[in-house]
Structure 1
Amino acid sequence: MRTPLASMSALALLTVPTIAAPYIANAIFPNVPAATRDAQLLDFYQQWKSTYFTYGCGEGRAYVDVGGDDKPVYGGTEAHTITVSEAHGYGMLALVMMADVDSDAHADFDAMVRYFHDHPSLSSPHLLAWNQVEGCADAGDDVGGTNTATDGDLDIAYALLLADKVWGSAGELDYAAEARATMDAIMAYEVEPVGMHLGIGDWALRPDDTYFRNTTRSSDFMTSHLRAFAEASGQVDWYSVLDRTYAIIDAVRASHAAGTGLMPDFIVDLDTVPRPADAVFLEGEADGMYSWNAGRYPWRIALDYLTFGEARAKAAIDPVNAWIRASTGDDPTKIADTYGLDGSTLPNHGENSMAFVAPFGVAAMIDPANQAWLDAIWADVVDKPVADEDYFGNTLKLLSMIAMSGHWASP
């Protein structure tokens, strides 16, 4: 069943949440009144939640239903998929960051944690199995349903840290302990212990795997998460992972994307010279291009500058902003859904997908020179109906709107 939304008034306006991160002083925001931005965010959050958030798979359990809009589910999932770990992490982030205006958020978040407990990966009870299907079972071995995907676990750990900050850990669920356990499991099973890079999942870092071991995925480059993990745990190895991530970005930019700053979906040969993956390396022809995985990269990296003032993040995203503005003529509706690292597009490419447009809005916030560009992106994002996008586009739109409106939080 869908969660009730009666407790959220469509007329309610956000105040800055108690857990919102103070952004760096020169950060910019869409040039509309803050109350208007907040109302637009709340309206879309309500639409997103009524479409995708659902209770099921046991008493007091909830998940993000990736097929809640009755549209096809992609990403290599098994037939009849109901959710994936990436979606679970996104949902937990959204709930805790919108808790100030959603009185159901605490109970809903706890229901998502219980679901997380019910579907452990094979490697650790503190990591989430990647894919579940109708009937609430984990997907089969043919799609690696009980393996992990690193991005989902990173977001879950970060959301648990935020939950400890906003609700404390003295109740039924000890969020702080849960976060520590998940962070430790990520370090043990999803970080390559020699190169200290983020792996693409526990399956790729098993002792008998060599082909995927020295691979990373740019959508996992959550550098502000890594910094937060280091500060919360006191474990200095997280700083090593953070530094390695920026070193990989620098290497790929210098040799393969000097004119654009773009990252490919997958980066290989991390034990020698990092490079974009070949076509059909893992998921498809665009594995070495800026495509459906890498489209999240501008949002993730920009947050490290906006919330922590990380100079390496700004250096990485400045050229991306310059290139995308020039290539579209400052018209976000012309943003394509896949690019070569040289900025080229594919024949018959799509345009104006929120999975690509909205993350560029967060990236625009790092420099006042991007004000008109940010305003155009915000207007385009707000104008796009929920029915025009699928789970992926709508969810990246929601999380990007949370960031663009100033409500992204740090532990």
Structure 2
Amino acid sequence: MNRRPASPLSFWLLIGVAGLFLALVLAPAARAEAAEGCGPWPAWEQFKRDFLSDDGRVIDASEADRRTVSEGQSYALFLALVAGDRAAFDRIMHWTENNLADGDLTGHLPAWLWGRANDGSWTVLDSNPASDADLWIAYALLEAGALWGERAYSLRGARLAARVLEDETFPVAGVGRFLLPGTTGFHPTDNTWIVNPSYAPLQVLRALATRFPAERRWQQLVDGSAVMLRDSAPRGLAPDWATYRAGHAFDRDATATDDTTGSYNAIRVYLWAGMLDADDPRADALRRHFVPFADFIAARGTPPEKVDAATGAAAANDGNAGFSASAVPFLVSLGQRALAAGQAARVARLNAESAPGYYTSVLTLFGIGWYEGRYRFAADGTLRPAWSATCTPR
């Protein structure tokens, strides 16, 4: 259709009106996503003040033993990398290695629990590893090695990743591989395995498959984890834990006693799915599968604290700020930006009303940090922190 060119005066008037609209109408959260990714990260600095000791230990003060878990160390390591905070990264890495991995991350999976023992000493309280922490530590080290050009990080990450693959995964005929939550306690019978869906973020697994293409078991783990995430959530709602039975997959019969609650563990399934790159071949199907979670938020205005993955029922209680923070990337990935902005605003309001604990804080850093454009995962799973490029978040 032919149109008459606008006059210069009309053109500049249009620009002025558009500028006024952008300045006054756009939601603060949406502006943050476009503008804050490259600046200082106040939430990370607050996390360090609240939870990180001078020597690099993440302290969960809500527990009487002022414990440290390997999950906290792994998340802090990753978030320090996102922040470009190499000094904190090194402190966290060395504390983790020295206290959880017998001084050698290349030779030992880190123990999951450290704290005050009954005799008053500070030591490992449970030496069983946690595979999600092990994966995130290996991933953060490998990405840091690439981004900072530090071979010592890469070496630690590669050897830790190899140990995860060897000690914490198992083959599933016709499917691929699954991740065990730890080395012991999750294979109760010859034909039964217990898994935690939130332990298997596909972008992290894909990055490891990309970095080690000759080791085909990584791709098998990507493939198997995608099946596990889908099949353990028959109603599109993720459980905290699920039981896989050879020959029956995740099907439950009338005698099944395993808990099908989805809550503080499962909320991370939606977080990881939402942060997948749109070009990841598993992203679209996985997000569509979990749309019922977004439907709950749209209907009630908040994520439920608990759902029953088997029946699809939701509890009356609302999830806390960490639940809303985890929902934000997922809602954005579905194109529900207004709903995402509302959850981001809820996070800010709740965290202003009362100081968040350790877990809520890390979920907020993950979800809102992503929303602010501080980092992205590429289609191959590799990390793209804002500081590593032109500092213009997409």
Q: Sort the TM-score into its range (normalised by shorter chain).
A: 0.7 to 0.9
CA contact (8 A) 1:219 1:294 kept: yes
Match in the other structure for 2:78:
93
CA distance in 1, matches of 2:53, 2:248: 44
Q: Equivalents in 1 of 2:100, 2:194: separation in Å?
A: 23
Question: Are 1:202 and 2:202 matched, yes or no?
Answer: no
Query: Deviation at 1:252?
Result: 3.1
- What are the equivalent positions in structure 2 for 1:246-257 lying under 5 Å apart? 246-253=226-233, 256-257=234-235
Separation in 2 of the partners of 1:41 and 1:217? 34
Residue 63 (1) aligns with residue 31 (2)? no
Q: CA deviation at 1:324?
A: 3.5
Deviations 1:356-384 (A, max 9, x none): 2111111112133x111111122122223
Partner Cα distance (2:256, 2:37) in 1: 41
Q: How much has 1:49 moved relative to structure 2?
A: 1.6
**1:240 positional shift:** 0.3
In the TM superposition, 1:8-407 aligns within 5 A as 30-34=29-33, 37-38=36-37, 42-55=41-54, 61-67=55-61, 72-73=62-63, 80-99=65-84, 105-120=85-100, 125-134=107-116, 135-139=121-125, 145-170=126-151, 174-193=152-171, 196-204=177-185, 209-210=188-189, 214-234=193-213, 235-253=215-233, 256-257=234-235, 261-275=236-250, 281=258, 287-306=259-278, 309-321=279-291, 323-329=292-298, 332=301, 334-341=302-309, 342-346=311-315, 349-368=316-335, 370-385=336-351, 387-406=354-373, 407=375
Structure 1 gaps, min length 5? 1-28, 56-60, 74-78, 100-104, 140-144, 282-286
Tell me the residue number matched to 1:102: none
Q: Which has the larger Rg?
A: 2
Separation in 2, partners of 1:227, 1:361: 22
| Closer/same/farther in 2, CA of residues 247 and 268 from structure 1, 3 Å limit | same
| 1:8 aligned partner | none
More divergent stretch after superposition (265-274 vs 33-42): 33-42
RMSD, matched Cα = 2.9
In structure 2, relative to structure 1, the CA distance for the partners of 1:34 and 1:303 (3 Å cut) is closer
* Unaligned segments of structure 2, at least 5 residues: 1-27, 384-394
Match of 1:18 in 2: none
Letter in 2 for 1:66: D
- CA change 1:329–1:225 in 2 (3 A) is closer
Q: Give per-residue Cα distances to partners, 1:156-204, cap 9 Å, x unaligned.
A: 011101211222225xxx0110010110010011111455210010114
How far off is 1:279 after superposition? Answer: 8.7
SS state at 1:65 partner: coil
More strand by share: 2
Aligned 8 A contact 2:178 2:224 in 1: yes
Query: Given the superposition, is the C-alpha separation of residues 294 and 44 from structure 1 closer, same or farther in structure 2, using an over 3 Å criterion?
Result: same
Q: Offset of 1:35 from its aligned partner?
A: 6.1
Normalising by the residue count of structure 1, what TM-score does the alignment of the two structures yield?
Answer: 0.74
Matched residue count: 337
Deviations 1:32-78 (A, max 9, x none): 244664499822222222101112xxxxx4111111xxxx33xxxxx
Identical-residue share of aligned pairs (%):
20
Secondary structure (helix, strand or coil) at the match of 2:224 reads helix
